[in-house]
Amino acid sequence: MGLGRDEMDKSVSEDFLRLKQQVVQFIEQDLEPVHLQVEESAEIPEHLVDKMRRLGLFGLSIPRDYGGLGLTTLEEILIYEEITKTNACFRSRIGTSNGIGSMGILYDGTEEQKRRYLPRVASGEWTAAFALTEPDAGSDAANISTQAVLDGDSWVLNGTKQFITNADTAQFFTTIAVTDETKGASGGVTAFIVERDAPGFVVGPADVKMGLKGSHTHELVFKDCRVPAENVIGGMARVGQGFKTAMRVLDKGRLSMGACAVGAAQKVLDLCVERVQRELASGMAKADLQAEMFALADMATQLYAARQMLYSTAIKKDEGRNVTQEASMTKIFCTEMASRIAGLAMDSFGEEGILTRSRIEIFLRDVRLYRIYEGTSEIQRIIVSRNLLKNSRSRA
Ligand SMILES: Cc1cc2nc3c(=O)[nH]c(=O)nc-3n(C[C@H](O)[C@H](O)[C@H](O)COP(=O)(O)OP(=O)(O)OC[C@H]3O[C@@H](n4cnc5c(N)ncnc54)[C@H](O)[C@@H]3O)c2cc1C
C-alpha cells in the first residue's frame, strides 16, 4: 500500500474524511486569517476555542464511550498535520489536553476516573495538562524529586514542575511524583490527578519562549499540596507504577510531534513552491532559479520520507504493536526534517524570510521547539540505540 496523503485518505472511514473536510474548512476560514494576530497577541481568541469544542477537536482520540470522537492514531495525526499548517499553538491547545494531559487516565485510570475526567476533556469543558519535567529533571525524567506522601486519606505533594503546557487553562494536571525514593522509577513513582483548586497548588507566570507564542508553559509549585487518596491514576493498586504510565503517554506524544513537524514542513514547502511560481510568472528563467528548484526537490524528498515513517508507525500502533523504537525514530526524523526544510526555505526567501513574524521566520522558530519537548532528539537516539542493543542481545 502506498503511503502518500491521497492513498492514506483511502484507508480511513468516510466519517473521518467528512470530519477532516470540516477541519480543513475551519482552518482556512477561521484559523489561517488570524494566524499572525495570534502570534502577536500570544492568545487564541475564545470564540475560536469554542468552535474547536463544537467540532469535537478536544476529544479526537478519546473513545466514543467517554464522549470523544474515538479516532485511530492515524486519523488523529492526519488532523494534527492539517492544523499545524497554520499557527502551531492551535494544535498545542487541543493536542496537549486530548493527548499527554489525559491519556494517562485513559490508559491506566479507574473507570470512575475515566467517567469523571474524559467526557469533560472531550467536550472541551476542561483542559488537561501533563506535569513531569522539573528544574533538575527534564531528559532524565527518572530523576524527578517532587515527593508525594500518604497522610490519612490524602497525598501530600511537595516540589516544583516546569515548562508545563496549558497550565494557564488546565483544570487538572496528570502529575508524576516520587512515592518511594528507594525504588526510583521502577516501583517508586506514581501518577496523580491534581485538580487546579487543590490546596497548596500554585501556577507561576508564563515563560517567555522563542516560539509557540500562543501556547503557554508555566512553572507549578506544590507546597504541602493535598490531593485525595483516590486521585492516584488507576487507584492504590497502581501506586509505584506512574513512570510506566508517563512513558506510555509519551510514546503517543512523540507521534503527535512527528505530525506537527510534517504539517509545518508541508506548509513551508507550499510557500516555497508558490514563491518559485511567482518568480517564473514574473519572467525569470528556470535556469536562473536552479538553486531554488533543487531546494524544492530536496524538501519534497525529505518530507515524503518523513510522512511514510509517520503513517506506517501510526498504523503499527493502531494494530496494537509496540512502537517505542519507531515512535522515537519518527520523532527524530520528522522534527529534524522540519528544521532542515525551514532552514532551506529561509535561504530561498532571503530577506523576505528573515523579517520578524514573516511566515518562514515563525515556522523556523516553532519547529525548533518540536526537537525539544516530549523528549529531545538526543534522548530519542538513546531510546533507539538501547532498543537496538537489547534486541540484538535477545537474538544472540
Ligand atoms: C514548548 C515546550 C513545552 C513543554 N511542555 C511540557 C509539558 O507539558 N509537560 C512537561 O512535563 N514538560 C514539558 N516540557 C519540557 C520538556 O519535556 C523538556 O524541556 C525536555 O524533556 C528536555 O528537558 P530539559 O529542558 O530539562 O533539558 P535537559 O534535560 O537539561 O537537556 C539539555 C540538553 O542536554 C541533552 N541531554 C540530556 N541528557 C542527555 C544524555 N543522557 N545524553 C545526551 N544528551 C543529553 C538534551 O538532549 C538537551 O540537548 C516542554 C518543553 C517545551 C520546550
pLDDT of residue 354: 85
Q: How far is the CA of 380 from the centre of ligand 1 (A)?
A: 11
Q: How far is the CA of 342 from the centre of ligand 1 (A)?
A: 22
To which CATH superfamily is domain 245-391 assigned?
Butyryl-CoA Dehydrogenase, subunit A, domain 3 (1.20.140.10)
Say if ligand 1 is within 6 A of residue 133 CB.
yes
pLDDT of residue 338: 98
pLDDT of residue 395: 67
Atom number, ligand 1, closest to the C-alpha of residue 376: 47
pLDDT of residue 349: 87
Residues of the chain with CATH 1.20.140.10: 245-391
Residue having the nearest C-alpha atom to atom 37 of ligand 1:
139
Say if ligand 1 is within 6 A of residue 130 CB.
yes
pLDDT of residue 51: 97
Which residues are identified as catalytic? 374
Say if ligand 1 is within 6 A of residue 379 CB.
yes
Please give the CATH number for the structural domain made up of 5-123.
1.10.540.10
**What is the pTM (predicted TM-score) of this model?**
0.94
Q: Which residues in the chain come in under a pLDDT of 70? A: 1-10, 394-396
Q: How far is the CA of 287 from the centre of ligand 1 (A)?
A: 44
Say if ligand 1 is within 6 A of residue 164 CB.
yes
Atom number, ligand 1, closest to the C-alpha of residue 375: 21
CATH topology of domain 128-243: Butyryl-CoA Dehydrogenase, subunit A; domain 2 (2.40.110)
Say if ligand 1 is within 6 A of residue 378 CB.
yes
Residue having the nearest C-alpha atom to atom 42 of ligand 1:
378
Residues of the chain with CATH 1.10.540.10: 5-123
Say if ligand 1 is within 6 A of residue 372 CB.
yes
Q: Report how far apart, in Å, the C-alpha atoms of 15 and of each of 9, 218, 318 are.
A: 11, 37, 18
CA–CA dist 353, 357 (Å, integer) = 9
The residues, any chain, with a CB within 8 Å of residue 388's CB and separated by 6 or more, are 325
Residues of the chain with CATH 2.40.110.10: 128-243
pLDDT of residue 302: 97
